[in-house]
A = this chain, B = another copy of it.
Amino acid sequence: MSGYHHGDLPRQLLAHAAEMAAEADPESISLRELARRTGVSHSAPVHHFGSRQGLLTALAVEGFAGLHEALSARGDGLSELGVSYVTWALAHPGHYAVMWRPRLLDASDEELDSARRRLWAVLSAAIVEPAPDRGGASAEAYAAFALVHGLAGLWLAGALPRPEEPSELIRQITRRLAGASDRLREQPW
């Protein structure tokens, strides 16, 4: 307990950063406040992450990996995938708030790129597969992604009231869009 060589400072910093982003916006993450919460000097965070942007990028990488893990487990239809997506976002507001805002992130970061790619693979496979007709596939993909992202964003921003147990509502919402596609697969719901 010497002050130097903390052990796993990066992980602790990321955890506190996620907390701070969850409390308000990701822009409210202050490196100095973060250092204060973690009990280190104000420049310890920049030593590990290079800059504020680096910290946010690391947060996004963690987020992409977590969401990828949450989604790749389940494979029961597009609408259920949407439910899992939104549920994860609501459970990890600090991470999610940063993931789809590339202007906040370091575009040259390779970890970010590959983590995002891995998530993309799961999403696009689930979206394109049940709607294999060409032409409509792109619009279908945009619509599905926009729906879940918009729902998560509105709730996380506090722009819409959210029930304390939203999963059933999420299911109804995603089925509005995915119903047609899921039915194409002759999969009963």
Contact = CB atoms under 8 A, between A and B. Distances in A.
B176 A160 contact: no
User: Looking at chain A's contact residues, is the secondary structure mostly helix, strand, loop, or mixed?
Assistant: helix
A33 to B, nearest CB: 16
B150 A101 contact: no
Size class of A's contact patch? Answer: 20 to 34
A71 to B, nearest CB: 17
Nearest to A104: B25
Contacts of A112: none
Nearest to A23: B103
B102 A157 contact: yes
A177 interface: yes
Contacts of A143: 147, 151, 173-174, 176-177
Contacts of A146: 146-148, 150-151, 154, 173
A100 B139 contact: no
Q: Which 7 A-B pairs have the closest CB atoms?
A: A150-B150, A146-B150, A139-B172, A27-B27, A146-B151, A149-B150, A100-B159
Interface of A: 24-25, 27, 100-104, 136, 138-140, 142-143, 145-151, 153-154, 157-160, 169, 172-174, 176-177, 180
